[in-house]
Chain A
Amino acid sequence: MAQSPATQDRVNDFVIKLGNVNGTGSASANTMLMKSIFRMGVPVMGKNYFPSNIQGLPTWYEIRVTRDAYVARSGRVDLMIAMNAETYQKDVREVSPGGFLIYDSTWPRSAVLARDDITILGAPLAKMCNENFVGVRNRILMKNVVYLGLLAALLEIDVEVIRQLLNESYAKKPALVEANMKAVQLGYDYAKQHLPCPLPLRIQRMDKTRGHVMIDGNTAAGLGAVYAGATVGPWYPITPSTSLMDAFKSFCSKLRVDPATGKGRYAVIQAEDELAAIGMVLGANWNGARAFTATSGPGISLMSEFIGLAYYAEVPAVIVDVQRVGPSTGMPTRTQQCDILLCAYASHGDTKHVLLFPSNPEECFYMMVQAFDLAERLQTPVFVLSDLDIGMNDWMCPELKWDDAYRPDRGKVLTQEEIEALPKFHRYLDKDDDGIPARTLPGVSPKGAYFTRGSGHNQYGGYTEDSAEYQVVMERLLRKFKQAKTLVPPPVIEATGTSDIGLVAVGSSRGAVNEARDILAKRGIPIDYMRIKAFPFTKEVEAFMASHQKIFVVEQNRDAQLRSLLTLETDVPKSKLHSILHYSGLPMTSKEIVEAVIAELGDARRASLAAAK
């Protein structure tokens, strides 16, 4: 069989894309495909592109096999598994030259499938399922497993690894393991007999996934909330955050239920809307429990009034915003970083909030714990700005670690003895000169009682309409926000030591940026990188921007929200910041960054040459 150079030597370095129909059970087969490669020690990246639909619309799953452990999309498709007749035409076009496409040859192939520069392979998957399995639903489900077997033969994936994964998945239903293995074998045998096995794209065992896990950010954040000691989780279902509270609840049901009584040390409350969800979060935190909610952009819009109350009345709260494409309902199953400004200044009046930017599921876990410590230390809402890409895709991450010496920072909460030793308790008095007053909890002492209110109050906690008294509290809140700069995590800076070009990004852009920097470095353009982990911006953020001449700000929204926030909240001159924006709703690729950097630097070089003339 003729092979294009593009497909040579693609061992452990290629992209598989699977085109499926939503609701046909493809997701579990695709996850298993990815997991089996991971179990063979080869790094992988998986992205699920799914519709806002339960059944019938097209869905794609992309697996990047990446021996160099890059976690972003590469922008290529080397092997397309085209299982959805409706998207054949699009899927064929997307294959990179020299690539492969596999289709179901049960039905005659349409002329639109033709392409000279790729290899097209057929297998009668539906026919094989009809002959070997009973029941319509079963035949549809098993078709996914048959192509898994087909790929095992074509890519040299160890069938025993697949069997082991099936054993784990169906530990309680051994009959399903056998049925699935039958389907795997059908596909495997067909490929061995009829297709050119192995393809030049193939898997070879490595040892690069040891000590790693494949986990999605919502699960990791839910687990982080468990370890943070959160006990109350009010929420309203919204894509793509739903699986976060589901994960929290599921972990709690396993870890926190007394088997004797069936009673649990947690309360996950499905609220009637996001307004009620955040209201419950405030009520619970006010009363001394660690409470959080998970939502997405539309939920933040609805919560805004309460967020302002929490800021002004100084009630801790942790809010996870798993960002999706806006504005309005937008594209609920696509990813963006479009709520940065919304969260930074949520609610009417002068408000500013602490933001944390996890860049992957691993950081979702740790940052949930940090978020609670910050919220209680600072007595203010803290946002964890995840996104759909981090939240809903399985990422390869270093195994999560826990330090048993950790104790939650509950902040300045006075004990009964402390309250009773005071001549008088004043809720908003800055006694320690750090902008943070002490608080008391209900039920502890009548001497600690105070009135929490969103209306004007003085530093003693009393109602006020007096300008001076009002301003004392507002200015102390600013000092508190300044204090937050010393408490939030500093940025991660990767400097070459020689470059005066910087790149700034937050969150899930990290993977694409890392790969882009490697590519640019190879082309002789070394770039320093600052990955901001929190707002308010720390002094390191200022220093990085001051020490670089040109700074690229990479972000996933149309309006350059991070760049806006940097110009509003630091001394950086606007002209220094050059935006690289990606807001298609799909995760970023390194290619976009590389091209944008080269275009800009190339233009700049031309401009400086012109100026020299």
Chain B
Amino acid sequence: MSFINKPKVRHPDLPKNELGLTRRDYEGAMSTLCAGCGHDSVTSSITQAIWELSLRPEQLAKLSGIGCSSKTTAYFASGAHGFNGVHGRMPSIAAGANAANRNLHYIGVSGDGDSLSIGFGQFAHAIRRNVNMLYICENNGVYGLTKGQFSASADIGTRSKKGEENQQAPVDPCLAALSLGGTFIARSFSGDREQLVPLIKAGLMHRGFAMIDVISPCVTFNDHVGSTKSYEFTREHYHEAVHTDYIPPRQEITASYGEGEVLPVQMHDGSQLRLRKLDKDYDPNHRGKAFEYLRTKLRQGEHVTGLIFLSPGHDPDMHEMLQTTDVPLNQVPYEELHPGAAGLASILRRYA
């Protein structure tokens, strides 16, 4: 249960990151999700990624809404502040927090109900606003805490545990993000840690809104035959179009790839992404083609995964659009915020 802390006993030989912290230092409270829940695998990947990135836990802010997915933020980085808000409204809390302090790393964890139904508006506008954050949508096609209703991401024809067939068209968060101007759009599978960990790292280092839709099966309500978001169905129908390798700053690039297969992307912090195209016709820098590719594969019943789209240009984030100062707004000295009594007198001349 989430209020039970894990024992702090550590093996002395655990590997340490640049800060001298072990992976255990990035863990959170014990999960209260069902055994085998995809979300717990996502938690593990997030923990791994932030440990590998050597982020100071307090430099991270964890935000979430309501639902099974939103509990995730309690299960990693107990040294980071967390904010579990109201249903579907995490993006606005994240935008406000980011407005106040642009120097922290923000991880939002949401789900398909939280992001695509009640919070679809906030999800859309956070993309438009290009809030600098990593946004993970743990997508299982179902409402778990209320026991198995379809969510907005449920595919047409998928069956609920009770046998009901979904008839409404699904909302695909990646297609939505593509159409809304998203600058970093990825999809992964909770069971594919090798793919997910570098994506999380890349998303955290991306300047702007990085969205990762993670298909994360619900073992209790959506893992049966007839469901298109079960472990089995996902494993059989997921199609990695692009594999991402994350190379931290100053690290030598050793892996060798065939000519034309790898797209190197320089990140603003000095790190590099190397996008390995598994489908040679795929272009992850082309919004229109990415959209078309996703649509085509969806029609064939395939979930395209990997870094689906990475904007090739420089897209201003919220702070650049607002032209806010480099000093985080919560740290600007009070004296610099108003012109004092003398200034007031001169302002008021207009009103006299």
Contacts and interface: CB of A to CB of B under 8 A. Distances in A.
Asked if chains A and B come from one complex, the reply is: yes
Interface residues of B, number: 65
B329 A231 contact: yes
Instruction: Please tell me the size bucket of the interface on A.
Output: 35 or more
Interface stretch (B76-84, B219-227, B256-264, B267-275): B76-84
B interface secondary structure, majority: helix
Contacts of A231: 100, 329-330, 332, 337
Interface string A299-337: 000000110010000000000000000000000000000
B338 interface: yes
Interface stretch (A96-104, A212-220, A496-504, A603-611): A212-220
A251 B344 CA distance: 11
A46 interface: no
B2 interface: yes
A227 interface: yes
B344 A287 contact: no
Interface stretch (B90-98, B204-212, B236-244): B90-98
B110 to A, nearest CB: 13
A215 B86 CA distance: 38
A287 B330 contact: yes
A271 interface: yes
Given A279-B92, A443-B101, A264 B324 contact: yes
A521 interface: no
Interface stretch (A77-85, A400-408, A558-566): A400-408
Contacts of A464: 3
B50 interface: no
B348 A399 contact: yes
Interface in A549-586: none
Interface stretch (B57-65, B186-194, B286-294, B307-315): B57-65
Given A265-B336, A267-B322, A275-B89, A284 B341 contact: no
Contact of A446 (B74, B80, B91, B100): B80
A282 B93 contact: yes
A276 B122 contact: yes
Contacts of B124: 272
A197 interface: no
A402 B89 CA distance: 38
A280 B93 contact: yes
Contact of B92 (A214, A227, A263, A283): A283
B148 interface: no
B280 interface: no
Contact of A232 (B100, B327, B340): B100
Contacts of B343: 255
Given A267-B322, A276-B125, A287-B97, A445 B58 contact: yes
Given A229-B337, A446-B57, A265 B3 contact: no
A286 B343 CA distance: 30
A258 B3 CA distance: 47
Interface string A386-399: 00000000000001
Interface of A: 168, 212-215, 219, 223, 226-227, 229, 231-232, 234, 251, 255-256, 258, 261-269, 271-273, 275-289, 291, 305-306, 309, 399-404, 407-408, 440-455, 462-464
Given A265-B327, A450-B82, A451-B83, 14 more contacts: A215-B351, A226-B337, A229-B338, A231-B329, A263-B324, A269-B96, A269-B99, A275-B92, A280-B96, A284-B100, A286-B96, A287-B96, A451-B84, A452-B82
8 contacts: A227-B344, A265-B337, A271-B92, A272-B122, A276-B92, A284-B330, A291-B96, A455-B84
